[in-house]
Amino acid sequence: MNGVHDMGGMHGMGPIQHEKNEPVFHASWEGRVFALDVAIDSRDKWTGDAERHQIELISPAEYLRMRYYEKWLAALVELMVKSDLVTRAEIASGKAMDRSSKTSHVLTAAEVPAAIASGAPASRNVPAAPHFRAGQRVRARNMHPVGHTRLPRYVRGKLGTIERDHGVFVFPDTNAHFLGEKPQHVYSVRFAARQLWGEQAAPMDCVYVDLWDDYLESA
């Protein structure tokens, strides 16, 4: 979706606020939201792509105003409700209406190190023919899906060069909507800065973006 989250190239966002000796969490609620999110994610009720999309669905004004972990909290609540883990009435009252008997395994402290160490690889070991090869000129498709996509607006319609084939990965545009993983090749695509931004860009500079087969066409 062409949301405010797709920020590459926008003006007017102000100076970068670099905080010295920044803590990992600025308040205890941030850490709790982070941990709740990771712990609930481990239940595999939804995909990371679905979670990113849920954050994109926050209204633009709210998205820009909210603190980072506040967005996580909003998305987590929505996903838990959609997945029938909790009801809005329970969220509002803070009281469980029924104890979740359908509960699958709950992440324990002892399991945390292993869960972090294994992570959740998005690569897939399935045969998928690459549509492009390193060195090939490509164009990022001029497409504007209303759902989730990881094709940033600022590269759409632009010419680039395949730098490297990263292998086969889950496709976010379908995976975010529970429409299957549709595994396909992801490439590092090099765009000259001047191709993206015109003469104002420095002549030697470039931007690399990792793009899926479905985002690209031959040029």
Rounded Cα–Cα distance for residues 67 and 62 (Å): 9
Least CB distance to other proteins at residue 187 (A): 9
Residue 141 or 150 with smaller CB distance to other proteins: 150
Among candidate residues 127, 134, 209, the one with its CA nearest the CA of residue 168: 127
Least CB distance to other proteins at residue 145 (A): 13
Going by C-beta distance under 8 Å and a sequence separation of 6 or more, which residues neighbour residue 160? 137, 138, 139, 140, 189, 190, 191, 192, 195, 209
Least CB distance to other proteins at residue 127 (A): 19
Least CB distance to other proteins at residue 210 (A): 3
Rounded Cα–Cα distance for residues 164 and 50 (Å): 27
Residue 11 or 127 with smaller CB distance to other proteins: 11
Residue 116 or 134 with smaller CB distance to other proteins: 116
Rounded Cα–Cα distance for residues 95 and 101 (Å): 16
Residue 25 or 130 with smaller CB distance to other proteins: 25
Residue 174 or 188 with smaller CB distance to other proteins: 188
Rounded Cα–Cα distance for residues 21 and 135 (Å): 42
Least CB distance to other proteins at residue 2 (A): 12
Residue 138 or 207 with smaller CB distance to other proteins: 207
Least CB distance to other proteins at residue 62 (A): 6
H-assigned helices in 42-85: 48-56, 60-65, 68-82
Residue 93 or 142 with smaller CB distance to other proteins: 93
DSSP annotation of 153 reads G
Among candidate residues 160, 172, 161, 168, the one with its CA nearest the CA of residue 133: 161
Least CB distance to other proteins at residue 153 (A): 9
Residue 32 three-state SS: helix
Q: Is the distance from CB of 46 to CB of 7 less than 8 angstroms?
A: no
